Amino acid sequence: MKTRTAAIAAMLVFGLAACERPAAQETREQRDQRTDDQMRKAGRSAYDAAQRAEEAAKELSRQVERAGKEAREGWDQAKHEHEQKKQ
């Protein structure tokens, strides 16, 4: 029983040590570089999203402008028909 407990404890200690080893070997410079790369990717993604949003806003503006033009034409047409009915 004591042998089994000691073996399990030893495996646990070695397992935890193995998990910590890569992080301990990573230098601060490597962590900073990895963080910089991640932030650069995030910045690129944000820029791309902003560009897509700008294009979508421009297209929406064109659609609203077209809809406004159609509404004005409909208004003028209805006004003209109404004036013809009066006469």
What is the residue range of 69's domain? 2-86
| Cα–Cα distance list, 69 to 48, 57, 64, 65, 82 (Å) | 32, 18, 9, 6, 20
The pLDDT value recorded for residue 26 is: 77
Helix segments in the chain, DSSP class H: 2-25, 28-86
The pLDDT value recorded for residue 64 is: 97
Q: Please measure the distance between the N-terminal and C-terminal CA atoms of the chain and give it in whole angstroms.
A: 111
Number of residues that make up the chain = 87
pLDDT-based confidence at 4, cuts 50/70/90? Answer: low
Residue 20 has pLDDT above 60, yes or no: no
Number of domains in the chain: 1
pLDDT, the chain, mean: 84
For the chain, give the percent of residues with pLDDT over 70. Answer: 75
